[in-house]
Amino acid sequence: AKSLGRSAYSLYTDNMQQQTQDKLNLFNDLHQAIEEEAFYLVFQPQLNSRGEASGAEVLCRWNNNGVPVAPDVFIAAAEETNLIIPLGRWILRQSCRHLQHWRQQGCLPASFRQLAVNISPIQFRDPQFESLINELLEEYSLEPQWLELEITENTFLGNNDEARNKIERLSQLGIRFALDDFGTGYSSLSYLQQLPLHKLKIDRSFITDIDKTDQPVPIIESIIQLGHNLGLDVIAEGVETEQQRDYLLAHQCYEFQGYWFSKPLNDEAFCRYLAELQSC
Ligand code: C2E
Ligand code: CA
Ligand code: CA
Ligand code: CA
């Protein structure tokens, strides 16, 4: 599906003119898709060491006239055009709506703590971001603790203080923050100490290394220890094998997300998965 999405806009051909045309088409389609709300959300379960659901990550999907476009492609395009602000707003609202619905239906187990939503740096910088959060919490009667915002190190590039203050205020309110793709960025680690984060999310690229060798993977062990030393929870994404899960568990990582447990699921399949987990 991903390759289809890419080839539909041949962003990777050598032909510059074709590339520019494809990009314009993509921007146009995206603009229209936002107006038509042609996106949908899927939810990937997160599990604790007891095998219970601890939360889920929201992932956005777009079928453009039936052709799936890879999230990496349309999110990047949305960021380039600032369309990520209305799209991100829609994603947050739908996430809250689903969360309220699941709670009312009783589909969430007692172990379920958070719904994690990816927030692009541009969306986070939007001056109306905080009022949106407050509005949604009220509209969907959600305690702030239910929402976990996944941000990346790029959020702190440039106007550092503003982002830091915003995290500070939202964190005061009770919103949780996870640092996504941890270990792949270039920024200094000093900001880690200064921010009221709750969780480090180890990037999938490191998890893949576990199966390549019987040797320890020092980077992973260091990230987990760093997280613990800072008083943060640590979650691993992209866990695809039992060996990876066991390795992580043996090194004190107690939360997991990945195909080994479940692919991202639509609303109904997600609730069914949670029910099945509880019955076994
Ligand atoms: P991410 O935040 O690092 O999300 C994790 C990606 O890994 C998702 O890809 C997910 O489907 C995939 N994944 C999860 N488990 C496994 C696994 O076990 N194996 C493998 N090979 N992959 C796994 P996806 O959905 O294609 O999203 C790619 C990226 O697009 C995300 O990376 C995120 O940066 C961005 N994205 C997706 N949805 C949203 C959204 O709603 N808002 C924003 N701002 N960005 C989004
Ligand atoms: Ca993420
Ligand atoms: Ca990642
Ligand atoms: Ca990411």
pLDDT in tens, 135-159: 999 999 999 999 999 999 989 887 6
Atom 20 (ligand 1): residue with closest C-alpha? 238
- What one-letter code names the amino acid at 118? N
State the pTM of this model: 0.93
In whole angstroms, what is the distance from residue 202 CA to residue 219 CA? Answer: 10
Q: For ligand 1, which residues put their CB under 6 angstroms from it?
A: 44, 58-60, 71-72, 75, 88, 91, 118, 120, 180-181, 204, 237-240, 258-259, 264
| CB distance 116 to 58 below 8 Å | yes
pLDDT of 5 over the 90 cut: no
C-alpha distances (whole Å) from 81 to each of 15, 34, 74, 223 are: 22, 12, 11, 34
Does the interface predicted TM-score (ipTM) exceed 0.90? yes
What are the pLDDT digits (tens) for 106-135? 999 999 999 999 999 999 999 999 999 999
Indicate the SS3 state at residue 250.
Answer: helix
Q: How high is the pLDDT of residue 10?
A: 62
Mutate which of 41, 58, 59, 151 for ligand 1? The one with the most ligand atoms within 8 Å of its CB, which is 59
pLDDT band per the 50, 70, 90 thresholds, residue 2: very low
Q: What is the pLDDT averaged over residues 165-178?
A: 97
Of all atoms in ligand 1, which is nearest to the CA of residue 150? Answer: 2
Q: What is the pLDDT averaged over residues 37-50?
A: 96
User: Minimum-distance ligand to the CA of 150?
Assistant: 2
Residues 202, 206, 211: CA angle, nearest 5 degrees: 125
Other CB atoms within 10 Å distance of the CB of residue 248: 25
Indicate the SS3 state at residue 85.
Answer: helix
In whole angstroms, what is the distance from residue 237 CA to residue 220 CA? Answer: 12
For residue 117, give the nearest of 99, 91, 143 by alpha carbon.
91
Of all atoms in ligand 1, which is nearest to the CA of residue 117? Answer: 41
| CB distance 60 to 117 below 8 Å | no
Tokens of 240: 């695809």
